[in-house]
Amino acid sequence: MYKSYFDSFDYNTPEKEHLSLWDKVIHNNRLYFSIRYAKVVLGTRKQAIKKKYDTQAWIDSSFEILSFIESAGGKFHITGMENMISPEGPLLFIGNHMSTLETMVLPCIVSPYRETTFVVKDSLVRHPLFKDVMLSRNPIVVGRIDPRKDFETVMTKGMELLSKGISIIIFPQSTRSVEFKPEEFNSLGVKLARKAGVKVVPVALKTDFWGNGKIIKELGPIDVSKHIHFKFGEPFFVKGNGKSENQKIIDFIQSSLNEWQ
């Protein structure tokens, strides 16, 4: 459908035998990382304002972010991409939420194969830098204050998007957290998948390479000692009340995080 930057279902950042002088300068360099990130954000904002930020532009800018993360010393390990390619129809991707990184990088992994959008907090669509870009992707916007209202919003717009063939990425945790707490992992995504009759793809993430900033969350410190992991599980339909399926996703994420320690 769109250009993909990966030529296999698994991807690992290539190891460099020798670092050049420039590599050594930018390795684990927060200033370099922040400048490159700001450049991408401002560029995509300009495209979005001009109504030119389409799906391929989203994929391209996402991969640019992945690339400069690698330049700064980040090492990616992405597995299970075949699980999001083979099923027919839209999918509901449900995963843990650890940092800004997954929001920025998932589009270049998923969107070459499926039109996709996110469930996002309303603060993102009000943010002066991210507003235009996020709105161009037609996300599902929730407030994270009134659970009943958020449920209605996700169910109503989620059904509308899925009926149009658009896949959805949802992070059931209320906020980003390095520590995965199963008790905070709600079943909203599972309930939507059951109602829409679409398959769920569980997604386990370890992205604490990119920390939260004290002043600007998106410009936090980076830590090259922490490898970056994305793992896509096998797709499945939700049956019954969805309780066992939600636990299945939780177990998938927890076991993956344990494996990556």
pLDDT for 124-161, tens place per residue? 899 998 999 999 999 999 987 888 999 999 999 999 99
Q: Is residue 216 part of a domain?
A: yes
Q: Is residue 4 part of a domain?
A: no
Q: Where are the alpha helices (DSSP H) in the chain?
A: 21-26, 30-49, 55-71, 82-85, 100-110, 131-136, 147-163, 188-196, 243-259
Q: What is the pLDDT of residue 261?
A: 86
Q: Is residue 101 part of a domain?
A: yes
CATH number of the domain encompassing residue 143: 3.40.1130
Q: Is residue 5 part of a domain?
A: no
Q: Is residue 238 part of a domain?
A: yes
How many domains does one find in the chain? 1
Q: Is residue 1 part of a domain?
A: no
pTM exceeds 0.85, yes or no: yes
Give the domain range for residue 167. Answer: 11-259
pLDDT for 24-74, tens place per residue? 889 999 999 999 999 999 999 999 999 999 999 999 999 999 999 999 999
Q: Is residue 58 part of a domain?
A: yes
